[in-house]
Amino acid sequence: MEIIAAAIYGAAYAFGGENALLYAAVISLFVIALLIYFIKKMGKTKFLNELVLSNRSTSDKGYTSAEGREYLIGKKGKVIGELRPAGTMLVDKNPIDVVSEGAYIKKGETVEVVSVNGSRVVVRKVEE
């Protein structure tokens, strides 16, 4: 904080002495007060209401960021692309993007969905 004050004092003194510092302080306070006034006033204007989105897209109104896929938990399917650890599996003739628990799984192996978190579907290799 002292560095900023010293820089302001030095700049003001270089451009016109101690009176310039007083003028700079008064002008700064005036500008800060003016900004505060406009910020408070702008919240009630039509202009700002058009710039700022005030509606929210919540799940109460039917908006969702990801399709719920909890129905996949426990389902088994074949890997149609290698999982290293991400890839694709086939469940009921539908391709699903999945992630293994960290292990490499070869194409054609059977896997089971163990968890779903949003759009992330985690699978585990089924030992046959």
Enter the pTM of the model: 0.52
Task: Say how many C-beta atoms besides its own lie within 10 A of residue 83's C-beta.
Answer: 23
Would the pLDDT of 17 be above 70? no
First to last CA, the chain: 69
Mean pLDDT, the chain, integer: 83
**98 forms bridges with which residues in the sheet?**
87
Predicted local confidence at residue 18, as pLDDT: 66
Residue 62 lies inside a defined structural domain of this protein: no
Would the pLDDT of 1 be above 70? no
**Distance from C-alpha of 27 to C-alpha of 14, rounded to nearest angstrom:** 17
| Chain segment 84-122, per-residue pLDDT in tens | 999 999 999 999 999 999 889 999 999 999 999 888 999
Average pLDDT over residues 66-88: 90
Residue 86 lies inside a defined structural domain of this protein: yes
Asked whether 128 and 110 are in contact (CB, 8 A), the reply is: yes
Burial of 123 (0-12, 13-18, 19+ CB in 10 A): buried
Instruction: Mark residue 16 as left, alpha or beta (left: phi above 0; alpha: psi -120 to 50; beta: remaining).
Output: left
Chain centre to alpha carbon of residue 45: 28
Which range has the worst mean pLDDT, 14-18, 80-84, 110-114?
14-18
Same domain for 7 and 41? yes
Residue 65 lies inside a defined structural domain of this protein: no
What residue numbers bound the domain in which 9 lies? Answer: 2-48
- Enumerate the H helices of the chain as residue ranges: 2-14, 18-42, 46-51
**Distance from C-alpha of 1 to C-alpha of 10, rounded to nearest angstrom:** 14
Residue 113's CATH number: 2.40.50.140
| Chain segment 28-60, per-residue pLDDT in tens | 888 899 888 887 776 667 776 777 777 777 778
Return the percentage of the chain with pLDDT > 90, whole number. Answer: 34
- Tokens standing for 22? 């007083």
Per the structure, the count of domains in the chain is: 2
